[in-house]
Structure 1
Amino acid sequence: MKYFSKIFAVLFLAVLAIGVRAQTGNPSPDSQLHSDLSLKYLVHLPSKPTSPPPVIILLHGMGSNEQDLYSLQAAFPQKYAVVSARAPYTLAEGSYQWFQGTSVNGRLDGDPQQLAASRARIGRFIDEVVRKYGFDPHQVYLVGFSQGAILSYQVALTEPAKIKGIGIMSGAIFDSFVPLIKPSPQLSHLRIFISHGQADHRIPISYAQEADKRLEQLRLTLEFHVYPGMQHEINQAALQDLVNWLQAS
């Protein structure tokens, strides 16, 4: 099962990011790939930083790379630093994944060893990047698409002390992960944004609806947005709702 976003959506978002950058006068983002931490990454520091600044860590989908979501940083509120991480498993040149997708009893899932390894690696990466750049450890947001959204759930729900909020774009909570979700007072601060296309055939809308119900049972604070006609992608409405959610954070 592949989780690629639509080509036209990627092109649209690239154009949108260029337009927003021109309007705000932000400097060009740092395009240097860094390899000094647990994951390779790109980093964009805020033009008007607070001390210490909050940070958004972007996790891309299957078959993509750290550049895919990085263009969105121009649309995000200027107070945030933005870090875009590369998944550790190589599919082809310029193409990476967080885990090998599988099917269990007709349900989407993933290789358990790779899921656990990526979850642990992201957790280490958060500690490392916060320490290196002096980001606010109490204002760390994960924003992920597809596989990146699935890992955002897994990291935040198992290590909630590290995460302030998660932006879930076309994701799922796998059945194999459910036993690891435990009610905890540490989850009470976690803010969650969920967006999903009603016409998504790669990760059907039913997975997002199930996740919404599980999170409501944990009494977590969340927004759940469904977009008619949207497939496995990020459209303009989904991006704007995410930006509004980040702005209110």
Structure 2
Amino acid sequence: MAWEQFDNGWRLAPAEAPATSLVVLLHGVGSNAQDLLPLADIWREALPHTAFTSLDGSEPFDGGFGGRQWFSLRDVDVQNRPGRVAAGWPALQTMLDAELAHYGLNHSQLALVGFSQGSMMSLHHVATNPQGAAVVVAFSGRLASPIVTKSATPVTLIHGEDDAVISIEETGRAAHALHDAGFDVEAYALPGVGHTISGEGVELGREALVRALAPLARS
């Protein structure tokens, strides 16, 4: 089964039907859904009953280089970032609901995997949605949203120590805030890694997904 393009991105059906879980990939600013397809191609063998969707950002990138975004970075700062994430969330929530309905699944069978701005959107879901998810994996991101709810969602944070775009300190702050709010959190700082997803990061993400999603295929 190959990737299929649809209005909001790309879908990959499970290797073995029916789908018992869904991984949704959320790219960084200025990129697009195709950027993260290789992750699913790597992880799929370990998750044969998992469907994958990679979504395009809900807005055209306004930085002048094409691509998509989940919210604008123009004049963004620590004060206005939470509001921008929240304003961008309804469009993404609509897409997530549509993908769950497409496969006949619910939030307990949903995994969110984000990179950079996509991580901020994934963590917004954790912080604000009491339905939660089966797991969230956030690469090179930050928690930009106040935590206003609690769910059983486990969160894995993965960040390069040499990230010059979003400081590794942001993952430390997110880990502490989520832990203090009662979430099960694992955080990894990867030496020598910049603002990217390294091979070690791919493996850590795979392990987090398998822990959360493999049992769903056996239930």
> TM-score normalized by structure 2?
0.87
The SS at the match of 1:144 is strand
The SS at the match of 1:231 is coil
The SS at the match of 1:82 is strand
Q: Give runs of aligned pairs for residues 95-174 of structure 1, distance below 5 A.
A: 95-101=67-73, 102-104=75-77, 107=78, 110=81, 112=83, 114-174=84-144
The SS at the match of 1:68 is helix
Counterpart selection for 2:40 from 73, 83, 86: 73
Aligned to 1:20: none
| Identity fraction in percent | 25
Q: Which one-letter code corresponds to 1:201 in the other structure?
A: A
CA distance in 2, matches of 1:136, 1:213: 28
* 1:55 matched to 2:26: no
Q: Which one-letter code corresponds to 1:48 in the other structure?
A: E
Conserved? CA contact 2:135–2:153, under 8 Å: yes
Aligned to 1:191: 154
The SS at the match of 2:34 is coil
CA distance in 2, matches of 1:196, 1:109: 23
CA distance in 2, matches of 1:111, 1:219: 21
Conserved? CA contact 2:117–2:141, under 8 Å: yes
| Larger radius of gyration between Structure 1 and Structure 2 | 1
* 1:30 matched to 2:3: yes
The SS at the match of 1:83 is strand
Q: Give runs of aligned pairs for residues 41-52 of structure 1, distance below 5 A.
A: 41-50=9-18, 52=19
Structure 1 residue runs without a partner (length 5+): 1-26
CA distance in 2, matches of 1:44, 1:160: 27
> TM-score normalized by structure 1?
0.77
The SS at the match of 1:81 is strand
TM-superposition CA deviations, 1:1-23 (whole Å, max 9, x none): xxxxxxxxxxxxxxxxxxxxxxx
Structure 2 residue runs without a partner (length 5+): 213-219
* 1:182 matched to 2:148: yes
CA RMSD of aligned residues (A): 1.9
- Alpha-carbon distance change, 167 to 226 in structure 1, aligned in 2, over 3 angstroms: same
